[in-house]
Amino acid sequence: MKPTNITQWNVTYQKQLKGDWMASASYIGNKTSHLWLGYDMTPPPRWRDPDIGHHRPPPAVPGQARGWALIGNLLMLDDGANANYNGLLLSLQHRFNHGFTLLSNYTWSHCLSDGDSVGNLRQGYYQIQNNRNADYGNCNYDVTQIFNTRLFTSARLWGKASPQVLGNWQFAPILRATSGMAINVGSGADNSGSGILRS
């Protein structure tokens, strides 16, 4: 088994603007190679049901043992899965001056992989066990757009009646907005003929 390898790279350009403003743009990327995922060596055989037109495991026959039914899952580790991430980060910052500072950033990114490792290697991951490329697509945790902004401001108010209460105040709201993650809509039929009910 090969160890999982992660390669990262990035490049950033910053520009100082007038009035204590600074803007930056960054490209961030990484690639994960030899990601470990479970591989089922004994997937159910394909059998086409003439009534519904879908592949599924052959029906059980009472009193007759079938060879495929006598063998449980034989799992092995597959170290051939891959993942990649590419993102653009735009940032705008106003340094603390005139009583406030502002930091805003926007990220557009995309993550693609053969599969996401969840730490459980005791089950088959792939829809088609001998074709990991059929699972290549968006990562389960892929969030394409992220926006964050933070404003920090402070001032001094000297109250005659109660300086302990009105002496200082700070205001620091944080706003975060993201796009949603993809969802899988299942049809309830084994369209891939893998014995797993997926879309």
CA nearest 36: which of 140, 139, 128, 118?
118
The whole-number pLDDT of residue 192 equals: 58
Q: What is the pLDDT of residues 96-142, one digit of tens each?
A: 766 678 899 999 999 999 887 666 666 667 777 778 888 888 888 89
The residue ranges of every structural domain in the chain are: 5-62+78-178
Is residue 134 within 8 Å of 119, Cβ to Cβ?
no
Q: What gap in Å lies between CA 38 and CA 154, rounded to an integer?
A: 54
The whole-number pLDDT of residue 171 equals: 76
User: What is the pTM for the complete model shown?
Assistant: 0.68
- Phi-psi region at 188: left, alpha or beta (left = phi > 0; alpha = psi -120 to 50): left
The residue behind tokens 């902004």 is 149
pLDDT band of residue 183 (cuts 50, 70, 90) is confident
The whole-number pLDDT of residue 162 equals: 47
DSSP string, 130-155: T-GGGG-EE-TT---EEEEEEEEEEE
- Residue 96: alpha-carbon gap to chain centroid: 35
Beta bridge partners of 37: 78
Burial class (CB in 10 A: 0-12, 13-18, 19+), 177: exposed
Helix H or strand E encompassing 112? strand 100-113
Amino acid at 100: F
Sign of CA dihedral 181, 187, 191, 195: positive
Q: What is the pLDDT of residues 34-58, one digit of tens each?
A: 888 877 777 655 554 455 445 545 5
